[in-house]
Amino acid sequence: MKAISLIKTGAVALAACAFCASAYAKWPEKAITLVVPFSPGGTTDMVGRPLAQLLSKELGQPVIVDNRAGAGGTLGAGYAARAHPDGYTIFLATIAHTIAPAIYQHLPYNFEKDFEPITVVASVPNVLIVNKKLPVNSTQELIDYAKKHPGQINFGSAGIGSTEDLAGEMFKSMTKTDMVHVPYKGGAPMMADLISGQIQMAIETSGSAGAQIKAGTVKALAVSTAKQSKYFPTLPTIAASGVPGYDFQTWYGILVPTGTPVEIRDTIYKDTVEALKDPKLAQVFNTLGADPGGMTPAEFKTYIADQTKKWGEVAQTVGMKKN
């Protein structure tokens, strides 16, 4: 009886392997969804759409962007984590998803366990920008103004736990100023209110900020990275402008639900790396102030673990409370 049982188990395993091999051989045979967890018009969306177009070309099937905004990108992450792991759902994550565990008490997913990392797509500096009517022209003037007007500077973000949220809380903590965080459902609506004067400040990703800086609708004061950015050569760093030690950079990466066959993951990685070499995408990234990624899945997995630990400690240091 035991021998028969083992034979049956082996037969089932072989059948499962044959099914997986057959499924992979046919993949992709329909459209693939790229889940973007922020609203259209923000930097995450700006990175995701041209990437989707090039992956469509590489994979031979349409890659359709699905914007699932809300809760600092965690609603989209929860949706993608629950997707069937068959290679037809790809998730465009950001640094915000390594920040979220320190901000949200009850996430509907575990970022490190429910996803398989593929690669980092791009990284960008954030830019300290203010409403044009705010009477400041440098980071130090902003700090001085905020100290003279406690509670009157509202800084915007793409949601609680988003890159702009943590960047703003770091700035607030390190400058010992009293500012008010105003979360939105994405960078685009936040930017609209910054331009109109509903909020006064944001430390926004370069893709979204750069277009408005060029259009003259906001004032740019400094970049968030430790070193000056080649994309904003006239802007000093926040660290060199009165906030020593300030350093913040936003990244974007793609992952798939855990359980996605390794052959499919390898194909997505290979085709993404090829897409990142495309001159058209390089031109888009240059406009966004973005440097292309390409790290291996193993490197990305380690990077996510390191980032989660780092931003958890920073969130605790600056006093961000769990929601």
- CATH number assigned to the domain comprising residue 170: 3.40.190.10
Q: How confident is the model at residue 12 (pLDDT cuts 50, 70, 90)?
A: very low
- Rounded CA separation 201/132 (Å): 10
Per-residue pLDDT at 19: 47
210 & 141 share domain: yes
Per-residue pLDDT at 16: 46
Number of folded domains that form the chain? 2
Least confident of 1-10, 32-41, 132-141, 221-230: 1-10
Per-residue pLDDT at 20: 52
What are the tens digits of pLDDT across the range 144-187? 999 999 999 999 998 888 889 999 999 999 999 999 999 998 88
Question: In the chain, what is the straight-line distance between the N-terminal and C-terminal CA atoms, in Å?
Answer: 55
Give CB contacts under 8 A, 24+ apart, made by 302-309: 303/120, 304/98, 304/111, 304/112, 304/117, 304/253, 305/112, 307/95, 307/98, 308/98, 308/101, 308/111, 308/112
Does 143 or 9 have the greater pLDDT score?
A: 143
- Rounded CA separation 206/250 (Å): 9
In Å, what is the CA distance from 35 to each residue of 74, 82, 89, 213?
Answer: 11, 12, 7, 28
109 & 254 share domain: yes
Picking from 221, 241, 261, the residue at the C-terminal end of a domain is: 241
Per-residue pLDDT at 186: 83
236 & 217 share domain: yes
Q: Is residue 8 part of a domain?
A: no
pLDDT at residue 70 greater than cutoff 90: no
- CB burial string 191-200: b at 16+ within 10 A, e below: bebbbeeebb
65 & 110 share domain: yes
Q: Is residue 181 part of a domain?
A: yes
Q: Is residue 323 part of a domain?
A: no
pLDDT at residue 7 greater than cutoff 70: no
104 & 135 share domain: no
- Rounded CA separation 207/134 (Å): 22
Q: Is residue 57 part of a domain?
A: yes
What CATH number is given to the structural domain containing 48? 3.40.190.150
Q: Mean pLDDT, to the nearest integer, of 67-81? A: 94
* pLDDT > 90 in the chain, percent: 80
Mean pLDDT of the chain: 91
Q: Would you give the distance in Å from CA 68 to the centre of its chain?
A: 13
Q: Is residue 18 part of a domain?
A: no
Q: How confident is the model at residue 29 (pLDDT cuts 50, 70, 90)?
A: very high
Q: Mean pLDDT, to the nearest integer, of 77-92? A: 98
Picking from 186, 207, 241, the residue at the C-terminal end of a domain is: 241
Domain that holds residue 291: 30-124+250-317
Strands 32-36 and 89-94: parallel
- Rounded CA separation 93/177 (Å): 31
Sequence-ordered list of residues with C-beta below 8 angstroms from that of 56, at least 6 positions apart, any chain = 62, 63
The answer to pTM > 0.85 is no
287 & 268 share domain: yes
105 & 143 share domain: no
82 & 115 share domain: yes
